[in-house]
Amino acid sequence: MKNCIMQPLRGTKDILPSDIVLWQHLYNKATEILSLSNYHEIRTPILESTSLFNRSIGNGTDIINKEMYTFIDQGNRSITLRPEGTASVVRSFISNKLYQKGKTNRLWYLGPMFRYERPQYGRQRQFHQLGIECIGSISPIADAEVIRLATYLLNELQCLEYTIEINSIGSLKERNLYKESLVKYLLNYQHDLDHDSKERLYTNPLRILDSKHKTTQEILHQAPCLNNYLGIESRMHFNSVCKFLNKLNIKYNINDRLVRGLDYYNYTAFEIKTHILGSQDTICGGGRYDCLIKQLGGPDTPAVGWAIGIERLLLTLKHNLEIHTKHPQIYLVTQGAEAQIQIWDIIKMLENHKISFELDLYNNNLQKQIKRAYKSSALLCVILAEDEISKQEITLKWLKTNKQKTILKINLEQELKIIFNTH
């Protein structure tokens, strides 16, 4: 019986070295751009108490009802792998008393999240999010700032084919009034709704607005509109956000059917979509959540933020962005026991000058090692063989031109300084 080849769990994926180049590019861009606006990186645990997400996300959501990875640990505590980032950041804001500094906390994160969903293109069970949270400002200028940063980052990453949809979902009181009218209307068509919408009718009716089912969408054409239930304060806030976006020349569409999948949002909600990914078209989603921090036991503190799905974003970047894998600058070849001892002095010198290298680890003859040097795409091959050892010399071979010269070992450092312009 043949041994079974071990495979990753369904819905998980290895991030290989060829992909890591893109991941590092994205991380570096995010660090550069967000630091300019005084956002600071935060890293929260992957594991959290299940109650954190039950209290924040909402019991009527698919995440709570169907998708969370939850287990009982050895201390008989209910533990959940975080399905999203905002609740964990808010928990950290409260438990570490970041509010005592009396200022706006601008935070950003990048890390893995977990949801038990049907894996498909651009959607995995372990996925990654890059998110920002602007905590402490009720002003619509904060909403505009976070939306601007999302577009700035996408543009810098050359993800240019996207559209922004924005809506005001009002206050909790306004949404509840709208919810009553929506349910009353939909009850007349209850038997014609798709299966998920029938269930949501009694748990989370606003999520029916997100349904992709054709018949359900036709029914919604004549449904009450949330915009008609907004009060003066909600309208003023939304109008200000739109004015700021207009000033910034950020194009957007107002979608009065747009709602977010998490219960904690209020006022501004927005999504950034791209046509490149087919049905999984949302690459960024966010909005304002002014009640969540108080809801989780912290002080009454307004906040706004967004999250970008990294896997989906990278799928779009591969269409536009060419990032090359870094190759070593020097390939080190040795022959003989003494050469394998002396090579460590050269390695230390290369590290001091930040010159990248690859040491050949096979005890083959010189020709086979040099052949591997050509395959490494290095610029230079440094050869330390028995002849060189006896004469206290080093051979340098330029792999692109086949030019070669032998120098005294004592002069190697100065020679490399000239070649690589190091100090």
State the binding site for L-histidine. 84-86, 115, 129, 133, 260, 264-265
Strand partners of residue 132: 108, 306
Burial of 199 (0-12, 13-18, 19+ CB in 10 A): middle
Q: Could you tell me the strand order of the sheet in which 357-359 lies? A: 357-359, 330-334, 380-384, 393-398, 404-408
- Give the E-state strand segments of 265-390 in sequence order: 266-273, 282-288, 303-309, 330-334, 357-359, 380-384
Q: Count Cα atoms within 13 angstroms, Cβ side, for 145.
A: 22
CA of residue 406 relative to chain centroid, distance: 49
Residue 122 contacts residue 13 (beta carbons within 8 Å): no
**3-class DSSP state for residue 394?**
strand
Confirm if 116 and 67 have CB atoms less than 8 A apart: yes
Query: Considering just the CA atoms, what is the radius of gyration of the chain in Å?
Result: 28
Which tokens sit at 137?
A: 């400002």
The rounded distance, in Å, linking the Cα atoms of 130 and 164 is 18
Q: Assess contact for 333 and 110: CB atoms under 8 A.
A: no
Buried residues in 239-262 as b, exposed as e (16+ CB within 10 A) = ebbbebbeeeebebeebeebbbbb
Residues 6+ away with beta carbon under 8 Å from 185: 222, 223, 224
Per DSSP, the three-state class of 107 is: strand
Pick from 313, 324, 333: nearest CA to 273 = 313
